[in-house]
Amino acid sequence: MVIQSLSRYVFDELRARILDGRLPAGAPLSEREIGAELDVSRVPIREAMPLLEAAGLVTLEPRRPAVVTAVTRTGVDELYDVRAVLEPFAARGAAAAVAAGADPSDLNRSLDLADAAVHQQDWQAFHVHSGEVHLEIERLAGNTLFGCLMEPLRARTDRLNVANMRTSPTARHDEHVALVRAIAHGQVEVASAVAFSHVEWGRQRILETLASVPGYDPDR
């Protein structure tokens, strides 16, 4: 593997271990130990660390090992405050694009896959396809800078959602159904309002189950 793909490999491996709690909050990340375990040099590890920091998963300080970042109530509120601004913007753009002639079939297809996962009670697949619904909304909106802004937010949201995969999946899916319907019909203002409501309902669900998120620090 080239260096770039090695750094992505390191990022994906460490991200997975942080999300499922194998690397707990506050754990130091030794370059030597990671390199030995993943059979990589220090270069891709050092390249992966800023990506993990941008994703809100590690904290970097000069001349100290990186440590796994804790999940805090303040951090959750900050995340959802930003999402409550950005996601209605994306929904508006996607609905406006459909109203102007864009094809929402890929968005509808992602929703159908999520719907099938709900009926099969395959929560991992539901998590994946629900994420694809949001990605397709971003794609329809057509703003490339928006995708760059959302990338670190998606990683932060994933840390919360992975731990809450079984929390109210039907309600989450119903919110996506309403959102996709508004976008597919080119209803700009409705899509924006539904997207805002979806974020706020998501905030409420996360706060109710925050103690189950690996790395949650109730004192911060």
Phi, psi of 34 (to 5 degrees): -65, -45
What per-residue confidence (pLDDT) applies to 125? 94
| Paired strand residues for 29 | 66
pLDDT on residue 4: 57
β-bridge partners, 68: 58
Beta strands of 80-188 (E only): which ranges? Answer: none
CB 71 within 8 A of CB 210: yes
Q: Write down all domains in the chain, each with its CATH number in brackets.
A: 3-68 (1.10.10.10), 73-212 (1.20.120.530)
CA distances (Å), origin 63, targets 41, 60, 70, 141: 19, 9, 20, 42
Count of CB atoms situated within 10 Å of the CB of 95: 29
Predicted confidence at residue 159, as pLDDT, reads: 85
- The answer to whether 87 touches 199, Cβ cutoff 8 Å, is yes
Structural tokens at position 48: 């992966």
User: Which one, of 48, 84, 43, lies nearest residue 206 by Cα?
Assistant: 84
Instruction: Kindly state the helix (H) or strand (E) to which residue 75 belongs, with its residue range.
Output: helix 73-99
Neighbours of 67 (CB within 10 A): 16
CB 69 within 8 Å of CB 25: yes
Q: Are strands 28-29 and 66-68 parallel, antiparallel or unpaired?
A: antiparallel
The whole-number pLDDT of residue 119 equals: 95
**Model pLDDT for residues 107-120, shown as the tens digit of each residue:** 999 999 999 999 99
DSSP assignment letter at 168: S
Amino acid sitting at position 176 = H
Per residue of the chain (220 residues), give pLDDT as tens: 454 589 999 999 999 999 888 999 999 999 999 999 999 999 999 999 999 998 899 999 888 889 999 999 999 999 999 999 999 999 999 999 999 999 999 999 999 999 999 999 999 899 999 999 999 999 999 998 888 888 888 888 888 887 777 778 899 999 999 999 999 999 999 999 999 999 999 999 999 888 888 888 887 7
